[in-house]
Amino acid sequence: MDTEAQPTERDRSSRPSDTGDAPNPEGQEGRSRFALVSRITEELPGGRISLTLLLCLVFLLLISTFVVRPFQIPSGSMENGLRIGDRVLVNRLAYRFGAEPRRGDVVVFDGTGYFGDGDYIKRVVGVGGATWSAATRWGGSR
């Protein structure tokens, strides 16, 4: 007879037998992967609907903070392409991974301390290394 205990794997397909009438507080729900969600929905007024709305709100907040942000055109300086009051969604990740603004891009930048208070929306007409002849070919005038 071998005196060392051999580890055995428990059959997870069968349910534990409960002999008492009272439910086990640490039963199936306590071990399930959704136990936290069910506990939260029980505590939250409105249950799953409120939890879903809360998660959607957090998701939208994260998206608007790190990925896209809405802006409104405040003045007529972009009148040929964008009118006063037009709304644009700005991709906040466009220039984060090594790309640089190109001629013709519409960019939004913070002008606080340089040009005044607030954000500015402008079209890029020149980039580093551009010459006068390149600007006139693009559509500029002399």
Q: What is the pLDDT of residue 32?
A: 65
Q: What is the pLDDT of residue 136?
A: 57
Q: What is the pLDDT of residue 58?
A: 95
- pLDDT tens by residue, 79-104: 888 889 999 898 888 888 888 888 88
Q: Which of 32, 50, 64, 77 is catalytic?
A: 77
Q: What is the pLDDT of residue 142?
A: 45
Cβ neighbours of residue 100 closer than 8 Å, sequence gap 6 or more? 127
Cα(110)–Cα(126) distance, integer angstroms: 19
Q: What is the pLDDT of residue 59?
A: 94
- pTM of the model as a whole: 0.51
DSSP assignment string, 88-99: EEEETTTTTTS-
Is the pLDDT reported for residue 113 higher than 90?
Answer: no
Write down how long the chain is. 142
Residues 105, 97 contacting (CB under 8 angstroms): no
- pLDDT tens by residue, 22-79: 555 555 544 566 777 777 777 777 777 888 888 899 999 999 888 998 888 888 888 8
User: Is 14 in the active site?
Assistant: no
Cα(103)–Cα(74) distance, integer angstroms: 22
User: Is 77 in the active site?
Assistant: yes
Is the pLDDT reported for residue 120 higher than 60?
Answer: yes
Q: Which of 13, 32, 122, 141 is catalytic?
A: 122
Is the pLDDT reported for residue 4 higher than 80?
Answer: no
Residues 109, 120 contacting (CB under 8 angstroms): yes
Residues 70, 88 contacting (CB under 8 angstroms): yes
Phi, psi of 88 (to 5 degrees): -130, 150
- pLDDT tens by residue, 5-18: 666 666 666 555 55
Q: What is the pLDDT of residue 57?
A: 95
Phi, psi of 121 (to 5 degrees): -115, 115
